[in-house]
């Protein structure tokens, strides 16, 4: 009989707004990160409060530790924009793939992202993001957005 210990969720809260404009190049988020260990299987949830000034910019993101560090992860994301439109996608993707979340709205949006993965080496697990299409208008991930993670095994 195997007894599983209780591994609580750990929450990392974004303490300041972060702005990207004129860039579709992925950059590390300043706050939404945690240290993962080799062989660890993780469940990760992100809730992002996003402000988008140009509907063409959209948002793309990935999780930095997964690039070359694990062979597979699964992802569920949902984006709700100011018009009440809900966009959802389930992806079983390789570690180098970006999640491209598109909306035709401007203003405030919320993204919910759920990931599961196993690391093949120690790594900082960091949200990376950029505009999907570079525009001069600001795309902002707002303070209060958060990442929750739990080491499953």
132-141 per-position pLDDT tens digit:
889 999 999 9
**pLDDT at position 120 over 60:** yes
* pLDDT reported for residue 59: 80
**pLDDT band, residue 108 (cuts 50/70/90):** confident
Give per-residue pLDDT as tens, 32-91: 999 999 888 888 999 999 888 887 877 888 777 665 555 455 666 676 766 666 666 666
* pLDDT reported for residue 132: 84
In this structure, are residues 126 and 65 in contact, taking their beta carbons and an 8 Å threshold?
A: yes
Q: What tokens appear for 121 in the block? A: 């080496």
Give per-residue pLDDT as tens, 1-46: 455 566 789 999 999 999 999 999 989 999 999 999 988 888 899 9
pTM as predicted: 0.83
First-to-final CA distance of the chain: 16
| Strand locations in the chain (E) | 10-13, 18-20, 27-36, 41-52, 59-63, 73-80, 86-93, 99-101, 107-118, 123-130, 139-141, 146-151
How many CB atoms are closer than 10 A to CB 134? 15
Exposed, middle or buried by CB within 10 Å (0-12, 13-18, 19+), for 39? exposed
């Amino acid at each position: 009989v195997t007894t599983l210990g209780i591994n609580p969720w750990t929450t990392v809260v974004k303490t300041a707004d972060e702005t990207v404009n004129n860039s579709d190049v992925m950059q590390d988020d300043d706050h939404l990160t945690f240290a993962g260990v080799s062989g660890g299987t993780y469940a990760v949830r992100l809730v992002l409060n996003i402000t988008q000034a140009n509907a063409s910019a959209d948002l793309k993101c990935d999780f930095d530790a997964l690039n070359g560090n694990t062979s597979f992860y699964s992802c569920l994301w949902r984006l709700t924009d100011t018009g009440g439109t809900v966009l959802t996608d389930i992806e079983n993707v390789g570690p180098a793939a970006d999640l491209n979340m598109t909306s035709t709205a401007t203003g405030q949006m919320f993204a919910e992202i759920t990931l599961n993965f196993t690391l093949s080496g120690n790594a900082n697990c960091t949200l990376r993001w950029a505009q999907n299409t570079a525009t001069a208008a600001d795309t902002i991930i707002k303070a209060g957005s958060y990442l929750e993670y739990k080491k499953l095994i």
